[in-house]
Amino acid sequence: MEFLHAMVRVADVDAALKFYGDGLGLKEVRRVDNDAGRFTLIFLAAPDDVTRADWDGEGRLPAGLPMIELTWNWDPEDYKGGRNFGHLAYRVKDIYETCARLRDIGVTINRPPRDGRMAFVRSPDGISIELLQDGEPKAPAEPWASMENTGSW
């Protein structure tokens, strides 16, 4: 068995790519527009995973590259839930820097990294994203140490 990807439906491609790309730093590795099915698939991977990936030399995605697939259906739909999906989780090199970058583009930090180890945010489509500090937790630091939770995650 081999993990391929996790899929989340998005209502606004630009908002989703701003969040996952500009905010989280994921890189687009493949895009498929399907005119007949009226949808677009956008595959994203973490930069370190892309760097380690064993590409086949012909532009195909490597086996075992952990990805998320953003599915955008061209005909508008109202997606409810988000939290019932569960969450996506990413290990980050600097949780404070990652949360600051997300906050700077307008993302609410729902569960701040008060412990220097874990935070939760939500994508524009309500998908819960867990961020975990790589290695040992960072020392508690402001503004995160005294920041209250906001909403749900």
H or E segment to which residue 52 belongs: helix 47-52
- Predicted local confidence at residue 64, as pLDDT: 72
Task: Count CB neighbours of 98 within 10 A.
Answer: 21
- What confidence tens digit (pLDDT) does each residue in 104-133 have? 999 999 999 999 999 999 999 888 889 999
Name which of 35, 36, 55 is nearest 45 in CA terms: 55
Q: Look at the pTM and tell me if it is higher than 0.85.
A: no
Q: Name the phi and psi angles at 21, rounded to 5.
A: -90, -65
What's the CA gap between 150 and 153, in Å, rounded? 9
What's the CA gap between 10 and 14, in Å, rounded? 10
- What confidence tens digit (pLDDT) does each residue in 135-147 have? 999 999 999 999 9
* CA quadruple 57, 9, 2, 86: dihedral sign: positive
In the numeric block, which tokens belong to residue 82? 């988000």
Residues carrying an active site annotation? 130
- What confidence tens digit (pLDDT) does each residue in 4-39 have? 688 888 889 999 999 999 999 999 998 999 999 999
**Token pair 């819960």 in the structure block, residue:** 128
- The residue length of the chain stands at 153
Domains and CATH numbers, the chain: 5-54+63-133 (3.10.180.10)
Most confident of 48-62, 64-78, 89-103: 89-103
Amino acid type, 133: Q
What's the CA gap between 60 and 24, in Å, rounded? 24
